[in-house]
Structure 1
Amino acid sequence: MVLLSPSISGIQDLLTICERYADSHGLRYNASKSELLVFKAGTKSYPRTPQVKLGNTPLKIVEEFKYLGHWVTSSLTDNKDIERERRALAVRSNMLIRRFARCNRNVKITLFRAYCQSFYTCSLWINYTQKTYNALRVQYNNAFRMLLGLPRHCSASGMFAEARTDGFHAIMRKRVASLLRRIAGSPNSLLETVAGREDSPFHYYWNKMHMLRT
């Protein structure tokens, strides 16, 4: 469970509500497994963060944590999560290369699509360095080359077109479009309001970060 508040006092109030609910239902939160992350506002930082307690136990303050498989950081950057995905892709692609070296080309392409094109939560990436992003793209392209036994410096766009499978940028665009479509079709009134205004800062920022950076 995640609690969000624009202030420390707000977080403490939310935790108090959770504690009351837990007490009334015979439950107890584990403070040792709970953490506090304070998001930074640009370059502004605070020398000391007031204590936030859960069951009279101060919560541990962290700079990052993994939520549903996605790394969230205090600086709101996605470099760590992109690196997580790059490492996971390297493991999966090496497994395919090692175990299925004797399979024919069509089988290898099918396996590549199944194991190397998921890019979990990639549609949420908006704040990252180009170096980190390019490292993932290169890992993806090289995995396909090595699996099919193609020359190391052959054209990435050409090899994906010949194999009739999506390249890196095509996958990113499809994931972003899918998320936007789900937001637009959500029955949640807040999401519906955001998705319904094409002149909103949300759409401007989304288009700037995803549609124009390819």
Structure 2
Amino acid sequence: MVLLSPSVKGLRKLLSVCENYAKSHGLKYNVLKTEMLIFKAGKGPERIPEVFLDGTAVRVVRQFKYLGHIVTDDRKDDLDMERERRALSVRCNMLARRFSKCSTEVKGTLFRAYCQCFYTCQLWYRYKRASFSTIRVQYNDAYRILMKLPRYCSASSMFAEAGMPDFFAVIRTRISSFWERLRGSDNSILQVVGQDLRSPIIAHWRLMHRDSNRK
């Protein structure tokens, strides 16, 4: 469960609603597992007043994992990209070890199923170029390892010959699919987000399509 508020006063009011609901329904929140993350905006205040749940101060953290995605107080995605890179490495090594003697067709099917599922990659928009490059190289190396190709063979050539989407194509596809669902949602809040072309993340999505198509 996540509560979002633009102010400490608003967050306290939301927590009060939760406390009253819990008491009236015989429930109790686990304060030890409750965390508060403050998104930075400019310099921000030097001191943030404490927020309490059932009389106990809520612990402040700089990052936490929500639905598998790492959220940080500076709203950067480098940590989540590293999480996905490590997961990709584990999946690739597993496939290479267990299915090394399978045919090229079988390996291609396995690669599509296990190595192209970049979870929440459509939300990546604030990151260092090095982070993006690292996970792209990991994707290319994963295919080389699985198919037993030379380490320094051309990535664009090997994907083109196999009819396999490269890293940029996978990202563009995930972005397009997510944006389509966002704009077609019945939720009024999601509709506003999806139609706001001034949004930084939507500007990044458009840039990803434009720059990738140039390559």
Say if 1:102 and 1:204 are closer, same or farther in 2 by CA, change over 3 A: closer
Compute the TM-score of the two structures, normalised by the length of structure 2: 0.93
Say if 1:26 and 1:39 are closer, same or farther in 2 by CA, change over 3 A: same
Aligned length: 211
Say if 1:170 and 1:15 are closer, same or farther in 2 by CA, change over 3 A: same
User: Structure 2: which amino acid aligns with 1:210?
Assistant: M
1:81 maps onto 2:86 in alignment: no
Deviating above 4 A after TM superposition, structure 1's stretches of 4 or more consecutive aligned residues are: none
Which 5+ residue runs of structure 2 have no aligned equivalent? none
- C-alpha root-mean-square deviation of aligned residues, in Å? 1.5
Post-superposition shift, 1:27? 0.7
Partner residue, 2:71: 72
DSSP 3-state at the match of 1:201 = coil
Q: Is the 8 A contact 1:176 1:210 kept in 2?
A: no
User: Structure 2: which amino acid aligns with 1:11?
Assistant: L
Say if 1:70 and 1:196 are closer, same or farther in 2 by CA, change over 3 A: closer
Post-superposition shift, 1:204? 5.6
Q: How far apart, CA to CA, are the structure 2 residues paired with 1:207 and 1:122?
A: 11
Partner residue, 2:89: 90
Matches for 1:196-207 after TM superposition, within 5 Å: 196=195, 200-202=197-199, 205-207=203-205
Matches for 1:37-186 after TM superposition, within 5 Å: 37-42=37-42, 44-186=43-185
Post-superposition CA distance 1:79-137 (Å, at most 9, x none): 00000000000000011111111111111111111110000000000100000110000
Q: How far apart, CA to CA, are the structure 2 residues paired with 1:96 and 1:129?
A: 29
Q: Is the 8 A contact 2:175 2:205 kept in 1?
A: no
Partner residue, 2:209: 211
Q: How far apart, CA to CA, are the structure 2 residues paired with 1:66 and 1:190?
A: 23
Q: How far apart, CA to CA, are the structure 1 residues paired with 2:10 and 2:29?
A: 18
Post-superposition shift, 1:193? 3.4
Post-superposition shift, 1:45? 3.8
Post-superposition shift, 1:208? 4.9
Bigger drift between 30-39 and 94-103 goes to 94-103
